[in-house]
Structure 1
Amino acid sequence: MTMSPQKKILLVGIGVAALAGTATVRAAAQSDTYKQLDALMDVFEQVRVTYVDKVDDKTLIDGAINGMLASLDPHSNYLDQRDFASMRQTTDGEYGGLGLSVSIEDGAVKVIAPMDDTPGARAGIKPGDYITHIEGELIYGQPLNEAVDRMRGLAGSKIAITIARQGEAKPLQFSLTREVIQIRPVKWEVKNNVGIVRISTFNKQTGPATRDAVAAIDKKLGAALSGYVIDLRSNPGGLLDQAIEVSDVFLDKGEIVSQRGRAKGDIIRYHAKAGDLTHGKPIVILVDEGSASAAEIVAGALQDHRRAMVIGERSFGKGSVQTLIPLGEGTGLRITTARYFTPSGRSVQEAGIEPDVSVPQLSDALRGERPRRREADLTRHLINEVKDGTEKLVETDEKPDPRFTQTADELKKAGVLDFQLDYAVKMLGRLAPAATVQMAEAAGLSPAAAQR
């Protein structure tokens, strides 16, 4: 069919009109944005001129930036020069302080977890504690970076902090001595032919240290090795690339994690390289409410691939990825840019990693009195969208589990100081005999020699 010139002109005119309409909408939206920015500048000028005390411009601008980011989610924030340098110290693995991983919750500084072998851990500070005073001064409502900066300092200097703990009638007073916190992210030991790998954080050293630990355990036990316990309890997370590297130690192939951004096609997938350094030995992973972020990536990857059994308590539930964007002059922006998903497509945001076997920490008599605070309890946390419109229903059974009826005093008398770890080691002892015998035979040893 041939169109007349008049019809052609009409169609072109409709196209031009549509484009013009789109441009008008964009211009209107841009105009609204400029009006809002004008309002911001009006407030800025009024505060400069009329506020009761003189405030320098940098303080006002930093406050505006921090307020903007605080309206997003708990993990997006502006890093001034001091914060940027502090973050680099932490990820590099050395700084002066107390060894506490903390967050801000409704204006209060909350302890996520104390790091192993640090002043905070040795003093008995617990996950879920609230730091209310530093050197007798109330810190409620202060920015988190100020509280962190005050807790850090020269090694050998003393600091007094006050803790509020659920179940305690009075605040707890702690006098601590700062140390150079040389974060050893990985420690290992052998117990009953089981290799125990404790990963406390994910900094630049974690991947290589995990490989070294696995190699050392394999060398020490050889064919007698029953399996591995990977202890990720109270691990607040850290670097994404280190979570991928650690997962790769235990996987021979397959996806480890995917991160998905705002756009539909904005997906990055990370896969394991060939070669399981543990040679297929059984693995048990320990998690609790302090296991977050990178720790959940490792637990989720090995759980989805049926490579490990996860036991303990439901993890923290931080399923978002933060990107560090340098802004110049030693400052930066840490902003949430994606959600991460386990190999099966699960988002752990809010929900966390559910253990295959739920095992309480019976050896800690006061654990039941401490609050269990996770990502879902944080103000303005990202919502885990339910795609099929249904919600998971959890059935409850009020009957006591016969496996977990011992008291902390009974366990202490039996010499069990860490019930969850003891349970994991015994579980591997039950899972691994057949595999141990096969490995022993392949190495030319008798099954009896392998079990010694």
Structure 2
Amino acid sequence: MKKLMLAATGGAVLGLVVTTQIAGPLVAQEAEQSTSVYEQLDLFGDIFERIRSNYVEEVDDRELIEAAINGMLTSLDPHSSYLSPEAAQRMRVSTSGEFGGLGIEVTQEEGWVKVVSPMDGTPAEAAGIEAGDFITAVDGESVLGLTLDEAVQMMRGPVGAEIIVTIVREGEVEPFDVSIIRDTIKLTAVRSRTEGNAVVLRVTTFNEQTFPNLAEGIEEQVAEAGGIDNIDGFVVDLRNNPGGLLSQAVYVSDAFLDAGEIVSTRGRRASDGDRFNATPGDLAEGKPIVVLINGGSASASEIVAGALQDHRRAIIVGTNSFGKGSVQTVVPLSQDGAMRLTTARYYTPSGRSIQSLGISPDIIVEQPRPRPVDEEEAEAGTPRTEAGLRGSLENDSLTEDEIRQIEEDRARAEAAAALREDDYQLAYAIDILKGLNALGPLSGSE
């Protein structure tokens, strides 16, 4: 106890001596910084007045000030921005799950608008917009030099109106135009279905509906299957999911975890950090899980994938995710505007930040592009079997029940083959679940 007291006293004395020695320079430095800030503010006011007085055309004071504020925020990172009262209202509507537009999540890269992902069932997806596309012009007008909010504003318009976006795509030699008809975007956050004996949960966004949709979808599919014992496992499809609400990412992760950390956030100061932990209860009841990700999986999607990967609760399949590891806080401002400010980085349970790195899949599976096949090639690729030979013997040793079972197995195999042609990554994920289910419970498990 005495040693601790002495150490504390020694530290206090040392601090006093050092502070005495540098107090003068510190005060001077702080005063100099304050003077510099006021000088810069005076400079801003001078420029503002000169623009108002001398610019070739009359300017709107409010628009000029909002542009200055937005410029200050967007200089920090691609995700900080000023939201006008109209933009703030649109954001509040979008997180509730219904809004008007094209149905794409975008960011900005080197002055161009980059598509993070098209949303399921939207005009952008129907028009063939892909994750990673660059939008260089809207209705023939270049977006280079615009802020992200200005570029997005150009793409907004009346429902039913046509918009032409110019796309630059990797692998394409020349830019090309895509026509899209604006529509009201109504998002079902989670769509659930059963493929074979696997429940597929397609999570398109993280809004207020996501966790309720997920829980309801799992309950419905398990009931239709006749119970959890009749299911091989679950595929959580997060491909082209641009993210959304942090709270919903935590809820979705918690749905499959019984305990442990889900995600932590760390801000500029230690007091700004936060930690989110799982609560008891696993909606999948211990069944295997495969998570699908790709380059369009961002933010909240990466939180879920990272949490399930670090806890070894799921196998991550697909391609590297987008790599957005920052948290934005929406701060309400006067006159109904808002500020979206990057306030923290988030970390997976193992303590890794995926900012600009993304989540690396456990198994890398590319989605092959469809290749046209002519009739001769298709016919040549059809395998010959004993049953197809002229005069082959019939199998008369099977009962009617056995024949029916063989036909059902063949139908399932053909359905799986069709799925593989349509969505190779999903078919791969389902094959993993089949393999895990065929092995049965792992040694040591209950």
What TM-score comes out, normalization by structure 1 length? 0.79
Aligned equivalents of 1:426, 1:111: Cα separation in 2: 30
Q: 2:112 aligns with which of 82, 91, 108?
A: 108
Instruction: Using the TM superposition, give the Cα deviation of residue 59 of structure 1 relative to its aligned residue in structure 2, in angstroms.
Output: 2.7
Aligned equivalents of 1:260, 1:190: Cα separation in 2: 39
CA contact under 8 A between 2:132 and 2:295: conserved in structure 1? Answer: no
Aligned equivalents of 1:137, 1:39: Cα separation in 2: 33
Runs of 5+ unmatched residues, structure 2: 1-14, 373-415
Paired residue secondary structure (1:416):
helix
Instruction: Using the TM superposition, give the Cα deviation of residue 16 of structure 1 relative to its aligned residue in structure 2, in angstroms.
Output: 7.2
Q: Aligned residue for 2:299?
A: 293
Q: Which shifted more, 256-265 or 412-421?
A: 412-421
Q: Aligned residue for 1:5?
A: none
Q: 1:433 aligns with which of 425, 430, 438?
A: 438
Aligned equivalents of 2:420, 2:116: Cα separation in 1: 28
CA contact under 8 A between 1:282 and 1:431: conserved in structure 2? Answer: yes
Instruction: Using the TM superposition, give the Cα deviation of residue 60 of structure 1 relative to its aligned residue in structure 2, in angstroms.
Output: 2.3
Instruction: Using the TM superposition, give the Cα deviation of residue 35 of structure 1 relative to its aligned residue in structure 2, in angstroms.
Output: 1.4
Q: Aligned residue for 1:420?
A: 425
Instruction: Using the TM superposition, give the Cα deviation of residue 66 of structure 1 relative to its aligned residue in structure 2, in angstroms.
Output: 1.7
| 1:257-295 CA distance string (max 9 Å, x none) | 000011134321001111111111000001111111000
Change (3 A) 1:16 1:199: same
Change (3 A) 1:146 1:12: closer
AA in 1 matched with 2:219: A
Matched, 1:143 2:113: no
| 1:81-119 CA distance string (max 9 Å, x none) | 121112112111111221111122222222111100111
Instruction: Using the TM superposition, give the Cα deviation of residue 71 of structure 1 relative to its aligned residue in structure 2, in angstroms.
Output: 1.7
Q: Aligned residue for 2:210?
A: 206
RMSD over aligned Cα atoms: 2.6
Instruction: Using the TM superposition, give the Cα deviation of residue 210 of structure 1 relative to its aligned residue in structure 2, in angstroms.
Output: 1.0
Change (3 A) 1:56 1:248: same
AA in 1 matched with 2:143: I
Aligned equivalents of 2:151, 2:22: Cα separation in 1: 54
Instruction: Using the TM superposition, give the Cα deviation of residue 12 of structure 1 relative to its aligned residue in structure 2, in angstroms.
Output: 9.8
CA contact under 8 A between 1:226 and 1:436: conserved in structure 2? Answer: no
What TM-score comes out, normalization by structure 2 length? 0.80
Q: Aligned residue for 1:4?
A: none
Paired residue secondary structure (2:333):
strand
Runs of 5+ unmatched residues, structure 1: 1-10, 367-410, 443-452
Q: Aligned residue for 1:326?
A: 332
- The correspondence of residues 91-170 of structure 1 with structure 2, limited to 5 A, is 91-170=95-174
Q: Aligned residue for 2:394?
A: none
Instruction: Using the TM superposition, give the Cα deviation of residue 38 of structure 1 relative to its aligned residue in structure 2, in angstroms.
Output: 1.5
Instruction: Using the TM superposition, give the Cα deviation of residue 61 of structure 1 relative to its aligned residue in structure 2, in angstroms.
Output: 1.5
Q: Aligned residue for 1:189?
A: 193
| 1:201-224 CA distance string (max 9 Å, x none) | 111111111111111222122211
Aligned equivalents of 2:66, 2:371: Cα separation in 1: 44
Paired residue secondary structure (1:161):
strand
| 1:211-265 CA distance string (max 9 Å, x none) | 1111122212221100001111111111000000100110011110000011134
- The correspondence of residues 16-415 of structure 1 with structure 2, limited to 5 A, is 22-221=26-225, 222=227, 223-364=229-370
CA contact under 8 A between 1:363 and 1:412: conserved in structure 2? Answer: no
Paired residue secondary structure (1:163):
strand
Aligned equivalents of 1:321, 1:67: Cα separation in 2: 20
CA contact under 8 A between 2:320 and 2:358: conserved in structure 1? Answer: yes
Greater Rg by CA: 2
Change (3 A) 1:22 1:164: closer
Paired residue secondary structure (1:202):
coil
Aligned equivalents of 1:12, 1:414: Cα separation in 2: 73
Aligned equivalents of 2:428, 2:59: Cα separation in 1: 58
Identity %: 48
AA in 1 matched with 2:359: I
